[in-house]
Amino acid sequence: MNRRGFLRGALAGLGAAAATSALSPLIKVKNARAGTGKRVVIVGIGGGLRLRESLGMAEGATMPNLFGRTPIVTGFGVSGVQPEPTIAPEYAQVVRPIARPTPRATPLHTQGTLITNLRYGDNSGSAPPGHLQGHGCLLSGFYNQLENRADARLPVPTIFELHRQATNMPASDTWYISQIGGFYRALIASGAPGYGNKFAGVYLQPPGVMQPLVPIITSGKRTVNLTPQNPNLPTIPFDPTEDVAVDRMTRVLDGNTAEFSPLEANVHLSSVDNAAIQAHLAEIYADGSYDKFFSDSFGIGELNDDNSLEGTPDALTVFHAERVLKKFKPSVMAITLLDVDACHSDFNGYLRGQQIADACVNHLWEFIQSDPDLADTTTMIVLPEHGRHLFSNGNNPDSLGRSGIDHGQGDDGDRNVWMLALGPDIKPNQVLAPTGITQPGRTSNKYETIDAVMTAMSVLGHDAKLTSELDAFGARPGLVIGEALV
């Protein structure tokens, strides 16, 4: 744990601490009805990830945990066992080395079903390959043209709302863990009639909120002196007596204040949810060792000069996603990874981001498998939110002639992606590239991103409801990928 490293990056995420406003109380939780007893974790690799570098391994084996070291798709000029990714020498000299566990001997895709020719949308213009649009699709099964604004709302219900309305479960049964805040927060609740904030999920942004800057600021100290004799930064004491006093004050204020309107843009959770989430955060902020912010034992990140570990945003995100899974055992969790989005101006950072994402996804799956409750009930679906252009943008060329790559114009590089599904409801050891998939309005003849979402909802028993809601809106619903299911 490098406390100095925390302070270096703390200010960058300060604005995201406002995300805790989404944890305010209002809605009363009714007696919960049981769901299917199954869980779904959707991991979206955001920022755009192409087939060329991931399954094609054209720059080396960037994701050996997931896919091994032999190209799974052809056509990118390489074959046979691939080495580590090719990082430009001048770049390698100035960046911190990556730390990650030794990749697994047998790639993770052998434990599940890998669809190598998934398609993100079509070329009709209804599915631009952008960040909010891509993750909006992953959380709703709806191709959309949302603007990148924090007040944007999907016109159809999200997977969080569908699950909570169907099961009457509390918000803490549905989580969205995102590397960055901003407009991604808009995806926890939709503007769909009959849904909205009342059935929103819980949003958490670990790199912005789960950091020592919060207890430092709340301590009121103007200076913090770190010495060998005094190595600890401030904490926020976890004081039950103080919590009781605050709760009494809150009840007095709430009793004399009008309730929030259900039409208000901000999400206000129930008092029960709010208390549980506050207790979770309080435990982290009260830890004088700072290991609950991020622990060196996680083993993934960048190495500092003193050999301590610095968690990248993706590493922080998965570290805290695992803590939420352990404590809350939610039925629905969506995770956004975004380190690969460095590619707009940093091709080498894009390759390193894939290595981090690969290690994090593997770590997450091994964590799930280590918990008997989660292992027996959890399906995990991993896929890029979309791809990237087939051409470079010329930003920051390296000595190997490679430069940045954007996304958004909708070429095949933008739209050709993959999906990996794992879990007790998924057939193992399948690598598929199905064609001839037909549906009114489907021009790809392939499985698509919306099908990955529909398949996840089928595991939870919500596929018929999702289909009904999309049909009612006039949108093309996804198909269940039957070949992947046991």
pLDDT-derived band at 37 (thresholds 50, 70, 90) equals very high
Beta bridge partners of 176: 203, 334
Inter-residue contact 361 to 65 (CB < 8 Å): yes
| pLDDT for 290 | 85
Of the given ranges (14-18, 328-332, 392-396, 438-442), which has the lowest mean pLDDT?
14-18
Q: Is the confidence at residue 453, as pLDDT, over 80?
A: yes
Q: What is the mean pLDDT of residues 65-79?
A: 97
- Which of 391, 414, 415, 413 lies closest to 404 in space, CA to CA? 391
Q: What is the mean pLDDT of residues 312-331?
A: 97
Residue 316: burial class (beta carbons within 10 Å; 0-12, 13-18, 19+): buried
Q: Is the confidence at residue 164, as pLDDT, over 70?
A: yes
The span from the CA of 225 to the CA of 231, in Å, is 8
Rounded to the nearest 10°, the torsion over CA 369, 373, 376, 379 is: -70
Q: At what angle do helices 449-460 and 131-138 cross, to 10 degrees?
A: 30
Q: Match 């949003």 to its residue by tokens.
A: 203
Alpha-carbon separation of residue 173 from 164, 167, 205, 321 (angstroms)? 8, 10, 17, 13
The span from the CA of 141 to the CA of 469, in Å, is 11
The span from the CA of 120 to the CA of 443, in Å, is 12
Q: Is the confidence at residue 421, as pLDDT, over 90?
A: yes
Q: Which residue has the higher pLDDT, 30 or 145?
A: 145
Q: Which residues of 13-26 are buried (b: 16+ CB within 10 A; e: fewer)?
A: beebbebbebbebb
Alpha-carbon separation of residue 371 from 296, 360, 365 (angstroms)? 21, 17, 10
pLDDT-derived band at 408 (thresholds 50, 70, 90) equals very high
Of the given ranges (193-202, 281-290, 294-303, 416-425), which has the lowest mean pLDDT?
281-290
pLDDT-derived band at 351 (thresholds 50, 70, 90) equals very high
Q: What is the mean pLDDT of the chain?
A: 88
Q: At what angle do helices 449-460 and 463-473 cross, to 10 degrees?
A: 130
The span from the CA of 446 to the CA of 119, in Å, is 7
Q: Which residue has the higher pLDDT, 480 or 268?
A: 480
Q: What is the mean pLDDT of residues 397-424?
A: 97
| pLDDT for 369 | 98
Q: Which homologous superfamily does the CATH classification assign to the domain defined by 38-206+312-484?
A: Alkaline Phosphatase, subunit A (3.40.720.10)
| pLDDT for 15 | 31
Q: What percent of the chain lies above the pLDDT cut of 90? A: 70
Q: How far from the centroid of its chain's Cα atoms is residue 40's Cα? A: 13
- Which of 40, 12, 26 lies closest to 460 in space, CA to CA? 40
Q: Is the confidence at residue 17, as pLDDT, over 60?
A: no
Q: What is the mean pLDDT of residues 354-367?
A: 98
Q: Is the confidence at residue 253, as pLDDT, over 70?
A: yes
pLDDT-derived band at 328 (thresholds 50, 70, 90) equals very high
The span from the CA of 358 to the CA of 362, in Å, is 6
Q: Where are the domains of the chain?
A: 38-206+312-484
| pLDDT for 263 | 63
Q: Which residue has the higher pLDDT, 20 or 266?
A: 266
